[in-house]
Chain A
Amino acid sequence: QQQVRQSPQSLTVWEGETAILNCSYEDSTFDYFPWYRLFPGESPALLIAIRPVSNKKEDGRFTIFFNKREKKLSLHITDSQPGDSATYFCAASGGTGSKLSFGKGAKLTVSP
């Protein structure tokens, strides 16, 4: 059972546009939502994370919008650059859980 779902699976945007990657989850006990980014040939790395005490987290061109009632969140990448081309994973964990549940990932391509 997929606890974290992502859409779309792949997205292509033009340089300078805003890319929006969506994520939803099932478990209402989840209270930590990180996004990891994976460049081809490299290893996943934390990009940005949010906890439900806030409905928005911003870090430069990257912003997470969080809707607890609907169990949805989204990652917005403004002024997208070709260097942002990567696979983005939404993840979630809850309480004292030891595990992160990852989504299947979304492949973003930014065309110049």
Chain B
Amino acid sequence: EAAVTQSPRSKVAVTGGKVTLSCHQTNNHDYMYWYRQDTGHGLRLIHYSYVADSTEKGDIPDGYKASRPSQENFSLILELASLSQTAVYFCASSDAGGQDTQYFGPGTRLLVL
């Protein structure tokens, strides 16, 4: 049974539109992360959170917002989607931050036209 789920699994958005990607985990983990994966760039951290109602900027936060309303849920918001945000987005959770195994969701494939 999948412990980290993401929705939607794929999405087509228009430039300038708002996009919300959702992540839900049943691992009872404190840490949650949002990454984007692009060919040639690997996995890049956008935002992360180690407690509900608090988020932290990752390495590439510009153009993205995050929300952690509960321990189980973590959302990534693109207020004004741009072509450059076309990518695969992965959510992950871990128990002890960077020193522990991260468990990834299935990913969301986002295409911005």
- A-side residues, CB < 8 A to B, are 6, 9, 32, 34, 36, 38, 42-46, 49, 89, 93-94, 96-100, 102-105
Residues of B within 8 A of A46 (CB): 101-102
Query: Do A89 and B43 have beta carbons less than 8 Å apart?
Result: yes
Residue of A nearest to B92 (CB): A44
Query: Do A104 and B40 have beta carbons less than 8 Å apart?
Result: yes
Name the one of B41, B92, B104 contacting A104, with C-beta atoms under 8 angstroms.
B41
Given the interface contacts A34-B101, A45-B104, A93-B99, does A98 sit within 8 Å of B50 by beta carbon? Answer: yes
Once bound together, how far apart are the Cα atoms of A46 and B94, in whole Å? 12
Residue of B nearest to A96 (CB): B97
Query: Do B43 and A98 have beta carbons less than 8 Å apart?
Result: no
Residues of A within 8 A of B44 (CB): 102
Query: Do A93 and B98 have beta carbons less than 8 Å apart?
Result: yes
Question: Total number of A-B contacts with CB less than 8 angstroms?
Answer: 61
Looking at A45, A89, A98, A104, which has the most chain B CB atoms within 10 Å of its CB?
A: A98
Looking at B90, B92, B99, which has the most chain A CB atoms within 10 Å of its CB?
A: B99
Residues of B within 8 A of A6 (CB): 42
Contact mask for chain B residues 8-34; partner A; CB cutoff 8 A; 1 contact, 0 none? 000000000000000000000001010
Q: How many residues of B contact A (CB 8 A)?
A: 26
Residue of B nearest to A90 (CB): B42
Query: Do B41 and A98 have beta carbons less than 8 Å apart?
Result: no
20 further A-B contacts with Cβ under 8 Å, apart from A98-B98, A99-B45, A99-B48, are A6-B42, A9-B40, A43-B90, A43-B106, A43-B107, A44-B43, A44-B92, A44-B102, A46-B101, A97-B98, A97-B99, A98-B31, A98-B48, A98-B50, A99-B59, A100-B45, A100-B102, A102-B35, A102-B43, A104-B42
- B-side residues, CB < 8 A to A, are 31, 33, 35, 37, 40-45, 48, 50, 56, 58-59, 90, 92, 97-99, 101-102, 104-107
Once bound together, how far apart are the Cα atoms of A98 and B56, in whole Å? 10
Once bound together, how far apart are the Cα atoms of A56 and B92, in whole Å? 27
Given the interface contacts A32-B99, A43-B107, A44-B104, does A99 sit within 8 Å of B41 by beta carbon? Answer: no
